[in-house]
Amino acid sequence: MASIRRMSITRLGIATRYSQVVIHNNTLYLSGQVPWVTGPAGATIEEQTQEVLNFIDAELAAAGSDKSKLLSLQIFMRNPAEYERMNSVYDKWVSPGNAPARNTICGVQFPNPTWGLEMVVVAAL
């Protein structure tokens, strides 16, 4: 019988209901990133997008990765009319030649009604 190789799981930023980052088999799974600072302040979708992307950069760096290693990115948006404005910030941020598989879901109702978006990332180490 072949031996079973077990991969360890590392969790960073552990809270009661979730971990900010889970690392398994050289893959990073980030929890949803939302505009904690600019959301409640009523900022534009551009400002909220930049804040969320900054959070993603920080979480990836803390885990030993960066945006050039993104595998997938899911975007959840409240207002579909803001899609192009969100993309105007995202397009400047994404690593050239390393765009992840991506999907966007619009019309989402968030627990905090001032949030315009949430992003969920999977990346390689």
pLDDT tens for 88-106 read 999 999 999 999 999 999 9
Please state, in angstroms and rounded to a whole number, the distance separating the CA atoms of residues 89 and 82. 11
Q: What is the Cα–Cα distance from 66 to 51, expressed in whole angstroms?
A: 16
Rounded mean pLDDT of the chain?
A: 95
- Domains of the chain with bracketed CATH: 9-124 (3.30.1330.40)
Q: The whole model's pTM is what?
A: 0.93
C-alpha span between 122 and 125 (Å, rounded):
10
pLDDT over 90 (residue 39): no
Q: How confident is the model at residue 41 (pLDDT cuts 50, 70, 90)?
A: confident
**How far apart, in whole angstroms, are the C-alpha atoms of residue 44 and residue 82?**
9
From its phi and psi, is residue 121 left (phi > 0), alpha (psi between -120 and 50) or beta? Answer: beta
